[in-house]
Amino acid sequence: MPDISISATSTEGLSPEEIRTAILKALEGRSLSSVLIIPPDFTRYHSNAGFITNTLWHALRDKGVDVDVMPALGTHVPVTETQWGAMFGDIPYSAMIVHDWRGGVVKIGEIPSEVVADISGGLWKEPLPVELNRRLVDGSYDLIISPGQVVPHEVIGMANHAKNLFVGVGGSEMINKSHMIGAVCGMEQAMGRDHAPVRRLFDWVMERFVYGRIPVLFILTVTTAPGGRIRQHGLFIGEGRECLTAAVALAQERNIDYVERPLRKCVVYLDPSEFTSTWVGNKAIYRTRMAMADGGELLILAPGIDRFGEDPAQQTLIRKYGYKGRLHTLELFEKPENDDLRANMGVAAHLIHGSSDGRFSITYAVKRIDKAEIEAVGFNAADYDAVAAKYDPARLAYGWNDVDGEEVYFIPNPALGLWIDRARLS
């Protein structure tokens, strides 16, 4: 099937009917009896993948096709029934299959150590097992459809496509080691770029283990959400790499904001319906670090944060080791006595990503978790209500603001973009 690519240059973006028409065209001529849809979870609510999944569900069911939906959780907690209804509409909650990243996967191959070493510039020299949820490879489905958003990402450069498979419905070794490779290579070498090291590894895997072997159709979106309203600027549908390349080019235009000067004070708001852990909420750090001034302050308004990890194992390790910087974490990682950290490379990578390495301060303003707990893992802490009284997210405008004579840069949702100081990028 030739790729389908549509994009809109208008402020409003593509209409629901334009999106629906393109999706139905991509299904034409296919003889299907059973389909698996792998959309992102609620942390990618603004991807518009919820609408796309709902459109696919009804179109396929109307043709008598059996349809399952397995959100690409990665290591996140399962989608709640409330989140499901908000994102996927009238698709029954019972249609959801929960991905088990620890026990529900099979190994389909391996990236040799020499390939990993070459792509990582010698920074990682171990082989990388390739794992996928067993449902993708056991022949249960005529077609696997993977809708999701292409947007800057701290590990792979630009999210989605193969990431939706190997992280979203991948196994623990694949997730942990790929994230650690990304952390060792450095976020600045990845974020907002197409051919980041981890993306190159996933491209290698796609060529050898997926294309022509596993029937996957990608439906990639490029969106923004001013005022919380989703605007879809592009839709790219295909079975190969071309749809990703086109989506990345548009996302680099729509989802990267270049600031004209470093941010001395940046205030980021985390919607409590979307961000309940620092595991997810640290997007506020990842996406702003290339715009922050040396010695600057990142203030994260986090009314919904009530924990650190997305599961008990992550929670325990974050509390034990904390967000203390890249070099400190790597030093801990190399010590034989810290075998719990070595066994959970994804957590080690997360700890590296969640630190500014002392270059700027990070303050979490919280109301559902004790401030002493925040400070114990390496952040500054503040009371949400007290801070929000001054930096009211309902009154601040996106971008530059003047708050009692203080210049503040406000970001209402860090998941939707990447902020870069042009001078730092160069």
3-state secondary structure of 151: coil
pTM for the model? 0.86
Query: The tokens 């991509």 sit on which residue?
Result: 26
Which domains, ranges and CATH numbers included, belong to the chain? 4-254 (3.40.50.11440), 257-425 (3.90.226.30)
DSSP class of residue 280 equals: H
Query: What pLDDT does residue 3 have?
Result: 82
CA 237 – CA 197 distance, rounded (Å): 24
Query: What pLDDT does residue 240 have?
Result: 95
Residues contacting residue 15 through CB under 8 Å, at least 6 positions apart: none
How do strand 406-411 and strand 399-403 relate by DSSP bridges?
Answer: antiparallel
CA 271 – CA 393 distance, rounded (Å): 10
Residues contacting residue 419 through CB under 8 Å, at least 6 positions apart: 256, 257, 258, 259, 263, 287, 288, 290, 291, 411
Per-residue pLDDT of the chain (426 residues; tens, 9 = 90+): 668 888 766 778 999 999 999 999 999 999 999 999 999 999 889 999 999 999 999 999 999 999 999 999 988 889 999 999 999 999 999 999 999 988 899 999 999 999 999 999 999 999 999 999 999 999 999 999 999 999 999 899 999 999 999 999 999 888 989 999 998 898 888 999 999 999 999 999 999 999 999 999 999 999 998 877 899 999 999 999 999 999 999 999 999 999 999 999 999 999 999 999 999 999 999 999 999 999 999 999 999 999 999 989 999 999 999 999 989 999 999 999 999 999 998 899 999 999 999 999 999 999 999 999 999 999 999 999 999 999 999 999 999 999 999 999 999 999 888 999 987 655
CA 337 – CA 339 distance, rounded (Å): 6
Do residues 404 and 396 lie in contact, with contact meaning Cβ atoms separated by under 8 Å? Answer: no
Query: What pLDDT does residue 415 have?
Result: 87
3-state secondary structure of 407: strand
